[in-house]
Each structure stands twice: as structure tokens, then as C-alpha cells.
Amino acid sequence: MSARLLPVAAAGLGLAVLFGCRASGDRPARVLFPDMFASLSYKPYDPNPVLARGQTLQLPPEGSVPMEGAPFPYGPGPEDALRAGRELRSPIESTAANRKRGRKVYETVCIVCHGPQGQGDGPIIGRFPNPPSLLAARARGLPDGQVFHIISRGQGIMPSHAAQVLPDDRWRAILYLRQLQEPPPKLTNAAAPAAAGGTP
């Protein structure tokens, strides 16, 4: 560039900067590189010709785990359910607060089929077959890890509830289930007639 054109170029650049910075209200400043300013964007469910699957929303990489989750290396089916029963242990302490939260989870998610007391008499019965009573000997004998697997993967016509119930809340629901399964307190000889309306 010749020395005579240098002042002209400098003046032009100065004017471009001056007018480009004079933005106010709804009037934007002049953009020198509009491709960087107004790039094309896609919403998650929009088709996308750039990506191999043709979708903007992509599957997570294989083996990835959500930040709030943990690996669950058990597939559906009775064999993995039994293995989960042998291997899984609840990380949740049996406290009054955790049992209270477990009751909330049960009454939100489980009660519709299993009923308020776990007897398989929820309000949905009649449209679907009755689920087995959670108070039966077989249900009482299931290890906590197997119950956790059933909630997570489903069993029979019961679907997985992994999307509805966080892992820690599944364990809390199991704490409340164990509370439901506790046998009623035995009446003493002195209290039995009074409870029946008689006299001791």
C-alpha cells in the first residue's frame, strides 16, 4: 500500500469503528463479521443436515453416566434380578426422615397399583391384573437389592420406574416398604380383651 493511501485507509477504518459502535435501543451496531454474530442455531428436536443421524439431539456416548447417576450393570430379567439381590446393598440409612421420604415416593408412584398398605389393591385394579401383595411371604423374603432391581428394570407387566424415581429415592421407598411389611404388634393378654371391647 502506498504512503498516500495509508491515511485514507486509516480514516476509513476509524469511521467504520465509530459508526459500528454507535448502537442504541433496537438499532444494533454494524457487524463487520456477521457469520460470527448471527450463526445458525438448531433447537434440540429440529432436523439437522450437518450431523450423521440427521437430528440435533444426539445420543450420549456409549458408557457415559449422568452426573447425578451411577452405573447399573444389571439388565432386565430374573437372573440379573437375583444377582442384584446378592450384590446390591442400600447406601441409605434407615432414619425417620428417609422412611418419611420413602412413604412420599410410595404414595406418589407405587400406590396406584400396590395400594396404600401394599396389598395389591390400588385404584388401577380392574384395568390391569392385580399385582401380588407386598405383604406376602415371597415379597417379604426378597433382598433389598432385588427389590431395587425390580423398581429399576421392571418385572412382568410392571414397567421400569427408573425414569420416575431417582436411585436414592428407590432405596427410601424400600425402607418404607419394609416398614409396611413389619407384622402388627402383638397384643398382650391384658390388652387383648380391652381392644375387643370386653373387660379384662
DSSP secondary structure code for residue 107 in this structure: I
pLDDT at 200 over 60: no
Q: Which tens digit of pLDDT belongs to each residue from 15-47?
A: 666 555 555 656 666 666 666 667 778 898 899
Type of residue found at 186: K
pLDDT attached to residue 72: 87
Rounded Cα gap, residues 66 and 126, in angstroms: 38
How far apart, in Å, do the first and last CA atoms of the chain sit?
116
pTM of structure = 0.63
Per DSSP, what are the bridge partners of residue 128?
125
pLDDT attached to residue 112: 93
Rounded Cα gap, residues 69 and 63, in angstroms: 12
Q: How far is CA 108 from the centre of its chain?
A: 14
- Taking alpha carbons only, the member of 113, 118, 95, 106 closest to residue 182 is 118
Rounded Cα gap, residues 109 and 159, in angstroms: 12
Rounded Cα gap, residues 40 and 160, in angstroms: 39
E strand spans, 18-168: none
3-state SS track over 143-167: CHHHHHHHHHHCECCECCCCCCCCH
pLDDT at 92 over 60: yes
The larger pLDDT score, comparing residue 188 to residue 195, is at 188
Q: Which CATH superfamily is domain 78-181 in?
A: Cytochrome c-like domain (1.10.760.10)
pLDDT at 79 over 90: yes
Rounded Cα gap, residues 140 and 178, in angstroms: 8
Give residue 126's pLDDT band: very low, low, confident or very high (50, 70, 90): confident
The larger pLDDT score, comparing residue 126 to residue 57, is at 57
Q: Which tens digit of pLDDT belongs to each residue from 138-187?
A: 999 999 999 999 999 999 989 999 989 999 999 999 999 999 999 877 76
Rounded Cα gap, residues 170 and 7, in angstroms: 74
